[in-house]
Amino acid sequence: MNNALNDQINAELFSSYLYLSMSAYFESVNLSGFAGWMRAQAQEELLHVSKFFKYINDRNGRVVLKAIEEPQKDWASPLAAFEDAYAHEQKVTKLINDLVDLALSMKDHTTNSFLQWFVTEQIEEEATASQIVDQLKLIGDARSGLFMLNKELGARTFTAAADAE
């Protein structure tokens, strides 16, 4: 279980790295609201890392940090970036579900209980990314819609206390 949780730390760090890369892409195409949204998402992923880190240590396990894969750096459009973000969140959901399956197979009820926060969190993560994908599809080539969504996404702020609940 310890090894699998360490693998998840690496996956969460990659998620943060990916969202920072997406933020850099959005900055490069002058969509600062999209970029800010992605930076907040990157910070949220680091909160997930902290939760796993603390849990492993609280259970007298050993955290072992591994190399983080280099993320993609360019996308064809804002829609393509958010489609990738949505697909990535679906992948993370599978990783969390696999951890739950492993915990249950090992009769590790404590880890199963810990993971339930992440199971619930992934519902929100997928729903949010999917909603933005849908909005971008509705906007299509309408620049005014893109700039309105840019302003809306730019209003997102990350607060660790609220996101940890």
Q: What is the CATH number of the domain that holds 52?
A: 1.20.1260.10
- Report the domain count for the chain: 1
With contact defined as beta carbons under 8 Å apart, do 132 and 154 qualify?
Answer: no
The token duo for 39 is 């930076």
Range of the domain at 15: 2-164
For the chain, give the percent of residues with pLDDT over 70: 97
pLDDT band of 160, cuts 50, 70, 90 = confident
Helix, strand, coil distribution of the chain in percent, nearest 5: 80, 0, 20
Label residues 85-121 b or e (16+ Cβ within 10 Å = b): bbebbeebbebbeebbebbeeeebeebbebbeebeeb
Q: What is the mean pLDDT of residues 127-139?
A: 98
Query: What does the radius of gyration of the chain's CA atoms come to, in whole angstroms?
Result: 17
